[in-house]
Amino acid sequence: MKRFAALLYGTLCYLIFFGTFIYAIGFVANIGVPKSIDSGASGDVWPALIINLGLLALFGLQHSVMARPAFKRWWTRLVPDHVERSTYVLASSLALIVLFWQWRPLTGSVWNITTEPYHTLLWVACGLGWALVLVSTCMISHAHLFGVRQVADYFGRKTPTQPGFQTPGLYRQMRHPIMTGFLIAFWATPDMTTGHLLFAVVTTAYILAALQFEERDLIAAFGERYQRYREQVPMFFPRLMPGMKADAKKEVNS
């Protein structure tokens, strides 16, 4: 029963995450959800600005603090290892749900592109950004990233394993394709409002700052191998001209 409860908990956490992810697409794109980034009447600017910044800060702090190895070492004294990742995923999902719920629209227009084909191209880019996020998670073990593998192994009495350093698919061309997808999805819109711009600017700043801590942790975990990878592979976008020699690529992936 204890193992089944852990499996059920991990599965529920994943389903909540996946529902939140789907809602996030509609929230940012203003499509198919009851409460989106621009829905509702605009109120006073300064209260809305303060509330929105507070919501973004809440998510950023939760997402970064709980991901740090020092926090995990303390946290796993209270939460079993096999549900630690699921709990992190649940906390991130809840922080996003609060953000969706309490977000205040700021509907002043920054740009509004209606001319074709640019209007359609921006929507296509937005969709491709979200697709890149999902595809990139699958390249590095989607199940492990969101805690499903851990609870499944615990349920099946298997020895837990940690994925080693890998550079599959897109990770050979850019170090953080998941974040590249988010950046594209947040900025690619034909109708940029003040609220959407605030969301895009703050989340971009958060991504840039958070990745500094993440890469520091990766260097601590994988040492010189990750350092070489960092030096040879761009962070977000592939180089237009091949920048890695064949022997350098072989060295990174060995």
The two three-digit tokens of residue 29, written as one number: 């794109």
Share the mean pLDDT of the chain.
Answer: 91
Q: Where are the beta strands (DSSP E) in the chain?
A: 109-112, 191-193
- Do 185 and 37 touch, CB atoms closer than 8 A? no
User: Is pLDDT of 213 > 50?
Assistant: yes
Query: pLDDT digit string (tens) for 167-205?
Result: 888 999 999 999 999 999 999 999 999 999 999 999 999
Distance (Å) of CA 144 to CA 29, 39, 84, 169: 28, 35, 11, 18
User: Is pLDDT of 241 > 90?
Assistant: no
Q: In 3D, which of 230, 130, 250, 123 has the Cα closest to residue 176?
A: 230
Q: In 3D, which of 202, 197, 205, 41 has the Cα closest to residue 109?
A: 197
Confidence of residue 247 (pLDDT cuts 50, 70, 90): very low
The two three-digit tokens of residue 165, written as one number: 């350093």
- Residues 206 and 222: their CA atoms lie apart, in Å, by 24
Q: In 3D, which of 185, 60, 42 has the Cα closest to residue 127?
A: 185
Percent of the chain scoring above 90 in pLDDT: 76
Residue 102, C-beta contacts closer than 8 angstroms, at least 6 positions apart: 51, 55
Residue that is written with structure tokens 């109708």 in the block? 191
User: Is pLDDT of 253 > 80?
Assistant: no
- Do 37 and 105 touch, CB atoms closer than 8 A? yes
Give me the helices (H) in 104-223, please: 118-139, 142-145, 148-155, 177-187, 194-222
pLDDT of res. 227: 94
Question: Residue 105, preceding bond cis, omega within 30 degrees?
Answer: no
Q: Which residue has the higher pLDDT, 98 or 44?
A: 98
Based on the number of CB atoms within 10 Å of its own CB, is 200 exposed (0-12), middle (13-18) or buried (19 or more)? buried
Query: pLDDT digit string (tens) for 7-55?
Result: 999 999 999 999 999 999 999 999 999 999 999 877 789 999 999 999 9
